[in-house]
Structure 1
Amino acid sequence: MSEVLSPQVQPTEVLFTQGITQSLTQVLWLEQTDCSLYVVTEQTPFHPVSHIWADHPADKGVLVYEGNKYTVIDCVTGAFDIENNKLFKGSDIPVKRGEAGWHFVVVHEIASGLLLNVNDTVELVVDTDYQASLSRGHSAGHLSSYALNKVLEQTYWRKDASRKDVLNNRDFHSYAQVLSLVSENQSTDSYRLGKTLKKRGLNVAEMLADLATIEAKVNDVLATWITTQAPVVMKREGDLLTDSRFWCCDLGIGESITMPCGGSHIQSLAEYNEVKITLTLKSDQDLEMITTAS
């Protein structure tokens, strides 16, 4: 493995939260392996996979240099060790964001064959159709999690819980979620219905007996929310990869959601014709919710 060292590496400015899907930008770091070239640029419209909670896939697209297009085969979060001039990628990152002496960056992986130099200018172009499909899936998943909490709040808790969501419903989603995955126009959430959840006061047996009814009620809530055509706003505390970002949607009728989220998202519920869920019991204690957007 060979590396092209650069003293100029800075935290990556991300553009996907602003609806920007292509940009001209300067190359800050290059790292060549036997099969790939890893490229860090000053800014990027690409959403990378998070190394902490990898629910939202990387964007697809191309890097354009001297008129030629090179496929971005992966896009991951990286952390640059300033003192040792070393890049760590994905699960190899040894520090938390905000650690002194480290810059968090977006790393674009290109197949070998591209000859670049630090300080070259390249164009990064996102596959907008694919990004939009992931954005629809991700925002739909947020909506369905709050709709599920809202329906369960009405009947299925026998005592109060210390954790409430922003709509003041007991936060089943937060308590029970063990896995989530965003895909094209879809979001999948896996929930664990163990002893701890029962101790917190959820009537699990009654809930499981009523899954079909719960599913129908959640879909009714989603249908009502979609008709609002409410805007979705991504509020940012800054433009760097590690700056906090918040998904905000005011549904009216006293229901306004603001939650931390680093993914890409729609700009309005008007982009949906329909959002629906299906609930499937995978085992005695494992429940799956698939949210589909159309």
Structure 2
Amino acid sequence: MSDVVIHQVRPTKVLFTQGIMQSLTQVQWVEQTDTSTYVVTEKTPFHPVSHIWPDHPADKGFLVFNGKQYTVTDCVTGAFDIENSKLYKGTDIPVKRGEPGWYFVVLHELELDMALNINDAVELVVDARYQTALSRGHSAGHLASYALNKVLEQGYWRKDASRKDVLNNRDFHSYAQTLSLVSENKSTDSYRLGKTLKKRGLNVAEILADLSLIEARVNDVLATWLATNASVVMKCEGDTLTDSRFWCCDLGIGESITMPCGGSHVQSLTEYKDITIELTFKSDQELEMITKAN
């Protein structure tokens, strides 16, 4: 990146975990490339796409400055090298979070003609409809993964497993997941059913034979869980981008889920009419689960 204004950047405070979708804030850093302007602010309601596990897309919305709206064309994770006053974007980030001498920030990308200065006051406004649709898709995907584990626990393993989920079911999702993608009111998960899982004791042939039955049972579990109208709470160990965040949902009857997750989420299961999954074998070693939220 070029055309840098030297300034001490601090870690971005994130607001999306609190359901806040617009905020007044100050500009900390402005940097231009040949095609875009990148803006770092003190705080933001925008959820950036992760450079490590980019399953949850960036929020959409706009920045308001001097009464004019500017579209935020992308929102990504950035890392600021304090000693060298250098900003790295997305997959160019050379360090892990928590590295001494580095701050992680949210980078708002705007069109090139955006002219801002350090300490300018701006308003950031998230597209609430889009963020809410992503949140529904993401939380639904979490519930579906635990429901799938629960159903497969009932007769589809011939060996015990050292890795159990928080509901004490063998963690098929964790063992087998190779890809996930959150989209509006939807989540897509891909699972690999290779030799390693068969050695761990997964009965892949039985799963193939019973795929429609498994799908129906998972949907039954999801319907039962939604009927609890349980709250979804994001527990945060701090307000910066790299502080640990946990998705928590107490379904009652001894089924309470707490899991690490950095995405945006619903606040209650009452935000759903229903959640259903579809299971498809893409090959003899790849299973796809599509979760749809209504």
Q: Does the TM-score normalized on the shorter chain lie above 0.5?
A: yes
Which residue does the alignment assign to 1:56?
56
Which residue does the alignment assign to 1:237?
237
1:111-130 alignment, distance < 5 Å: 111-130=111-130
Are 1:246 and 1:261, in contact at CA under 8 Å, matched by a contact in 2?
yes
Structure-2 separation of matches of 1:115 and 1:44: 19
Structure-2 separation of matches of 1:183 and 1:216: 23
* 1:168-206 deviation per Cα after TM superposition (whole angstroms, max 9, x unaligned): 000000000000000000000000000000000100111
Which residue does the alignment assign to 2:176?
176
1:68-87 alignment, distance < 5 Å: 68-87=68-87
How far 1:36 sits from its partner (Å)? 0.4
Structure-2 separation of matches of 1:7 and 1:65: 20
Are 1:5 and 1:30, in contact at CA under 8 Å, matched by a contact in 2?
yes
Structure-2 separation of matches of 1:243 and 1:277: 32
How far 1:4 sits from its partner (Å)? 2.9
Structure-1 separation of matches of 2:39 and 2:134: 23
Which residue does the alignment assign to 1:192?
192
How far 1:112 sits from its partner (Å)? 1.0
How far 1:35 sits from its partner (Å)? 1.3
* 1:75-98 deviation per Cα after TM superposition (whole angstroms, max 9, x unaligned): 000000011110001000000000
Structure-1 separation of matches of 2:154 and 2:219: 15
Are 1:20 and 1:45, in contact at CA under 8 Å, matched by a contact in 2?
yes
Code of the aligned partner of 1:100 = P
Which residue does the alignment assign to 2:35?
35
How far 1:5 sits from its partner (Å)? 2.4
1:138-153 alignment, distance < 5 Å: 138-153=138-153
Are 1:6 and 1:28, in contact at CA under 8 Å, matched by a contact in 2?
no
Are 1:5 and 1:85, in contact at CA under 8 Å, matched by a contact in 2?
no
How far 1:114 sits from its partner (Å)? 1.2
1:1-294 alignment, distance < 5 Å: 2-294=2-294
Structure-2 separation of matches of 1:208 and 1:3: 57
How far 1:33 sits from its partner (Å)? 1.1
Give SS of 1:155's match: coil
How far 1:52 sits from its partner (Å)? 0.4
Structure-2 separation of matches of 1:66 and 1:20: 22
Code of the aligned partner of 2:236 = R
Are 2:50 and 2:76, in contact at CA under 8 Å, matched by a contact in 1?
yes
How many residue pairs end up in the alignment?
294
How far 1:100 sits from its partner (Å)? 0.2
Identical amino acids, percent of aligned pairs? 79
Are 1:28 and 1:118, in contact at CA under 8 Å, matched by a contact in 2?
yes
Q: TM-score, normalised by structure 2?
A: 0.99
* 1:52-90 deviation per Cα after TM superposition (whole angstroms, max 9, x unaligned): 000000000000000000000000000000111100010
Code of the aligned partner of 1:203 = N
